[in-house]
Structure 1
Amino acid sequence: MTYPTEASKALVEPDYHALLNANLERVFNEREDGKRRAAIHELFSPEPTMYEPAGIVTGQAAISNVAGALLEQFGADFSFVAEGTAVGHHGMGYLKWRAGPANGPVIVSGVDVAEVSDGKIKRLWVLLDAPQG
């Protein structure tokens, strides 16, 4: 019989930076519904929950609908841009971002905080920075 060593018991962490950047680029910046839904299927757990200031949505389709509506609301030139490197540990990661039109002012900024399980986003909190000015 073998017993686990401290090294073998070490938690294998997901690549928070890759996962949260993929969420920003492939979900919240993706205007084509089919590609966005495929990315959500790859990046999120089967029944994810997203918490945002306007409410709580559950399920991959609902998250896709929210992302699509945001892009439609703000126009073709609007996008989200990561600020810095996403970090995390023990199943929780975060990524700072800003959003607005290309070469234009920042309209909104904030942070995505994700609970990650089995390498996929299980729960996502979208926290917006307080308006400036």
Structure 2
Amino acid sequence: MADLLSANLHRVFANRDESSRQAAIRDVYAEDVEFSDPEEVVTGWAALGAKAGDLLGRVPDTYVFEEDSPKYVGPDFGALAWAFGPAGAPVVRGIDVITVRDGRITTVRTVFVEGQPTPG
């Protein structure tokens, strides 16, 4: 579970290399993965890849994701808080809550700290 939380954040949403990101998506998520945040809900590998790519394309290259808490894990779910912005000076904070089936992420629910801008 801890590895999947890290992979979701670092191998996918922080990954600026599209080819590597797509390979990670196929490795980490169920094919019908559902991602939701306050902006929208997307389903499937292609939509998830587009979501991550669009986010990274809207921010400066100096923006990075950093883990902002310990990983919280249960038998089929986990959570990880993150910070996003220039290293050491985040402009956005949030939490990802994932559910897992058969060793792959099936849902990602992302929430942001109330009152702050959405990423990108």
- Normalised by the length of structure 1, the TM-score is 0.82
* Partner amino acid, structure 2, of 1:121: I
Among candidates 21, 26, 29, match of residue 41 of structure 1: 26
Q: Which ranges of 4 or more aligned residues in structure 1 deviate by more than 4 Å? A: none
How far apart are 1:44 and its partner, in Å?
A: 0.2
How far apart are 1:111 and its partner, in Å?
A: 0.3
Contact (CA 8 Å) 1:110, 1:127: kept in 2 or not? yes
Alignment of 1:130 with 2:104, yes or no, is no
Aligned partners of 1:36 and 1:57: how far apart in 2? 17
Size of the aligned set, in residue pairs, is 116
Aligned to 2:38: 53
Give ranges in structure 1 of 5+ residues lacking alignment. Answer: 1-15
Aligned partners of 1:22 and 1:68: how far apart in 2? 15
Aligned partners of 2:61 and 2:96: how far apart in 1? 22
Q: Secondary structure at the match of 1:46?
A: strand
Aligned partners of 1:58 and 1:22: how far apart in 2? 18
How far apart are 1:110 and its partner, in Å?
A: 0.8
How far apart are 1:84 and its partner, in Å?
A: 2.6
Aligned to 1:25: 10
* Partner amino acid, structure 2, of 1:46: E
Give ranges in structure 2 of 5+ residues lacking alignment. Answer: none
Contact (CA 8 Å) 1:82, 1:95: kept in 2 or not? yes
Aligned partners of 1:49 and 1:34: how far apart in 2? 21
Aligned to 1:118: 102
Aligned partners of 1:114 and 1:37: how far apart in 2? 19
Based on CA coordinates, which of the two structures has the bigger radius of gyration? 1
Alignment of 1:107 with 2:91, yes or no, is yes
How far apart are 1:47 and its partner, in Å?
A: 0.9
Q: Secondary structure at the match of 1:84?
A: coil
Encode CA deviations 1:47-91: one digit per residue, 9 max, x unaligned. 100011111000011111111111110111111111232122131
Contact (CA 8 Å) 1:51, 1:124: kept in 2 or not? yes
Aligned partners of 1:100 and 1:73: how far apart in 2? 12
Aligned partners of 1:89 and 1:29: how far apart in 2? 24
Aligned partners of 1:126 and 1:26: how far apart in 2? 16
* Partner amino acid, structure 2, of 1:96: A
